[in-house]
Structure 1
Amino acid sequence: MDVNRQQFLEDGYVILRQVIPPDQLDSLRHSYEIMVDRQRAIWAQEDPPDGVWGRAAQPRLNLTSLADQIDESTASTIEIWLHENTQGASSQLLGVEDAAVTEMMLMCSPVSDHGPARWHRDFAPAHSSPAMGYAEDILDNGPRYVQWNLSLYDDDVLWVVPGSHVRCLTSDENAQLERDAQGPLSSGVQTHLKAGDGVAYILPILHWASNYSTRMRRTIHGGFSMFTHYPNLSYLKQLSPQARETFGRWVKRSDDTMARTEIALRAALEADGAAYQQALQDLHPESCSMAMRQSTILLSKSAKRIQDLKRPASGVSEEELSYATGIHPMTMQWGQPMADRFSVAEAGRLWERFRWVDDRLRGDQEATCPGFQGGPTSYFFNDVPAELTVDNFIAQWS
């Protein structure tokens, strides 16, 4: 499938037609509906009578958590992510040879709560970075991740603000969101997808799930990156040998990336500036300074999570523990498996090493800002302080 990468980089999104081949659409709908029924049965057992299905504003299936439920009749729900129109197109959009699938989900129409949601970017600065950390990395090196909505039925729920993936919001946009974060923005564009169409977009873009109608909604949702993690691959036995080989290649790369992340953290722990610089280069070959700065910010979050997982449980809030255990390779967060590689003493020293970065990213007072996930925080929402550079970080070690 031909894609317009330049438009994607400039606007932050691109609409692609007939991503699902028309002759596969009905069978794919059928396979996903089988998975919906299986998930609904699990939810009903966990929380009768309907569980999440009956109360969620946007019931979602996550195929990773349903890996053991995938069989020959539903293998196509995985295989669609390996298609040239999805995996191949994503590799083109990211400018890489072999983009790997990350999340594999399905968004469904709600039973009762039909929205709308709130305008948002898909991150909270307290747990990732300021918006311009993402933006300047994208402008310098291209995006690290592409997210997809792939419609099984006609779908016009998603709105986006073109170009917002590489800029702060304007004063007018902020004022509109302050007045009403659940209504159309004058700078917003509604995406109109026919069954089988897809919209691919860059993570920090400001977007909105508008009013859900009562009509059927089944929208495949997920993404691609060079940073991945697969906790359960039991469905591989249902796939072709070529598909199993593809996932095997991605798993090896994931393991290698996690190992490189540990090398970077240990280089900082040992105050070895040259080794730290080399580790960043190994994580991001041929990338420029903004990628190194962004990864340093994300590694500071990783150091904090490792510290939280090594502290006594009484000293960590439930929210902090939830974030610490979460695995999100696109932001270099590896959860408990990474924490297990460090001793309690090492975790404490590692956090002290990265505390300088964390201190640069926050002010004295908590605040809120339109368009971001999470609650009030002292972390900066938009700008990365000029003094936060990799060289200045390393200079603190001597």
Structure 2
Amino acid sequence: MANTPLLHSLNRNGFVKIPRVVTGPQLDRLREAAQSAAKLGRDGKWRDVRTLPKQFPPWNVGENPAQEGIWGIQGVMHPNMPLHDEFIRLYFSEDLILKPTKQLLQCSGEDLVMELFNLLIRPDRDFELRWHRDDIPATADPEQEMERLGKPAFHAQWNLALYEDTSLVVIPGSHKRARTETERNADPYEAVLPNQLVVRMEPGDIVFYNNNILHRGVYDSSKERMTLHGSCGHVDGAKARARNVLQHGVREWISQMDFGKALEGVEKTQAELMRQNLLAMGREAGEVGYSLDG
């Protein structure tokens, strides 16, 4: 496959934004589905949530996970999630998600693996993520960083904003190099690092990014936020991606999914193939643990 402008931008910067991929009635439907999911989570009726102040899995699964506040809803395609068909239609949309994913991964539909689809929401109080790479611990030395960064990503990760969103902060190009001494020695919650960029998204915009770019999240509890957060993988990366994906508990319910009401024809066939590739990854991976602490 040819190196497309989309892939060129991702390789150069570590992220690429596509404006207004979702508009009009579809944006309205996704907002309705997201609002329903967020309410379930805040009311303590959906247990698979991202709880404050924890940044990474496993999240609190106590008697009332939402008691201390939440900042995300996990597993929006789960068969028990109301309006989950709306999320399924988006995730497996050829034009909106799968076509750019195949360009970025330089692959065919047969190579794709279903991974994650979650919802990031306005936190119940102001909340920040520390500077991090999703699958490289902060304790890694420069040689360890470069060893991991030198391997293919084997995934396309994305955020799709349903409302204006300025939460994602990145260091462009940092997916290709080890951290500088300034970055390595900075407070992990340092407000500003050299060359950082706030990714500004309007409703309907999507940004694809390498999850090992140096990045953080800054979440303002006074502003509405509903941003869909997903990823698709490549079959050749199953071993490398297993921990990053399976730590979110997706294999506990993936076999229960029913695409019948949401998809038909080619898209249904593609979705089933991607699900089977995920199930195969889960069988081969065994226990995977967690990528990061905190």
Does the TM-score normalized on the shorter chain lie above 0.5?
A: yes
Hey, what does 2:273 align to over in structure 1?
249
Q: Percent identity?
A: 21
Deviations, residues 244-290 of structure 1 (Å, cap 9, x unaligned)? 3222222344456678xx6xxxxxxxxxxxxxxxxxxxxxxxxxxxx
Q: Please, what TM-score do these two structures have when normalized by structure 1?
A: 0.57
The one-letter amino acid of 2:275's match is V
Q: Give the letter aligned to residue 136 of structure 1.
A: G
Query: AA paired with 1:95?
Result: Q
Map of 1:236 onto structure 2: 259
Q: Do residues 75 (structure 1) and 85 (structure 2) align?
A: yes
- Within the alignment, does 1:224 sit opposite 2:232 as a pair? yes
What is the deviation of 1:215? 1.2
Partner of 2:293 in structure 1? 374
Q: Aligned pair 1:210/2:218, yes or no?
A: yes
Shift of 1:54: 4.5
Name the structure 1 match of 2:204: 196
Q: 1:186 aligns with which of 194, 200, 218?
A: 194
| Maintained 8 Å contact 2:72/2:118 | no
What is the match of residue 129 of structure 2? 117
Which amino acid in 2 is paired with 1:250?
Answer: M
Return closer, same or farther for 1:247/1:161 CA change in 2, 3 Å cut-off. Answer: same
Change (3 A) 1:133 1:56: farther
- Gaps in structure 2 of 5+ consecutive residues: 48-60, 239-249
What is the DSSP-based 3-state SS (H/G/I as helix, E as strand, rest coil) of the residue aligned with 2:179?
A: coil
Residue of structure 2 in register with 1:163 after alignment: 173
Alignment-derived partner of residue 96 in structure 2: 85
Q: How far 1:24 sits from its partner (Å)?
A: 1.3
Q: Which has the higher helix share?
A: 1
SS in 2 for 1:24: helix
The Cα shift of 1:12 comes to 0.8
Alignment-derived partner of residue 26 in structure 1: 28
2:65 matches 1:42? no
Q: How far off its partner does 1:233 sit?
A: 3.7
**Matched-pair contact (CA < 8 Å) for 1:157–1:211:** yes
TM-superposed deviation, 1:7: 1.2
Distance 1:147 1:78, change over 3 A: same
Q: In structure 1, what is the equivalent of residue 157 of structure 2? A: 147
Q: Give 1 or 2 for the bigger CA radius of gyration.
A: 1
2:158·2:206 contact (CA, 8 Å) conserved in 1?
Answer: yes
Cα distance, 1:195 vs structure 2:
0.5
Amino acid at match of 2:148: Y
Q: How many pairs were matched up? A: 257
Q: Are 1:95 and 2:106 an aligned pair?
A: yes
Structure 1 residue 124, shift from structure 2 partner: 4.4
**Matched residues in 2 for 1:19 and 1:53: separation?**
32
User: What is the match of residue 119 of structure 2?
Assistant: 106
Alignment partners' CA distance in 2, 1:193 and 1:202: 17
**Once the 2 structures are TM-superposed, how far is the Cα of residue 220 of structure 1 from its aligned partner?**
0.2
Q: Which residue identity lines up with residue 181 of structure 1 in the other structure?
A: Y
- Change in Cα spacing, 1:212 to 1:254, as seen in structure 2 (3 Å) is same
Deviation at 1:217, TM superposition (A): 0.6
Q: Secondary structure of 2:66's partner?
A: helix
Could you tell me which runs of 5 or more consecutive residues in structure 1 were left unpaired when the two chains were aligned. Answer: 263-301, 307-323, 329-371, 376-398
Deviations 1:196-231 (A, max 9, x none): 101110121110112424111101001011247753
CA distance in 1, matches of 2:138, 2:215: 20
The one-letter amino acid paired with 1:103 is: L
Normalising by structure 2, we get a TM-score of 0.75
1:132 and 1:257 mapped to 2: Cα distance?
25
In structure 2, C-alpha distance between the alignment counterparts of 1:213 and 1:35, rounded to whole Å = 18
> Could you tell me how far apart the structure 2 residues matched to 1:82 and 1:225 are?
13
Preserved CA contact (<8 Å) 2:113 2:274? yes
- Distance 1:36-1:3 versus aligned 2 partners, 3 A rule: farther
CA distance 1:374–1:124, shift in 2 (3 Å): farther
- The one-letter amino acid paired with 1:9 is N
Q: Is the 8 A contact 2:136 2:145 kept in 1?
A: no
Shift of 1:192: 0.2
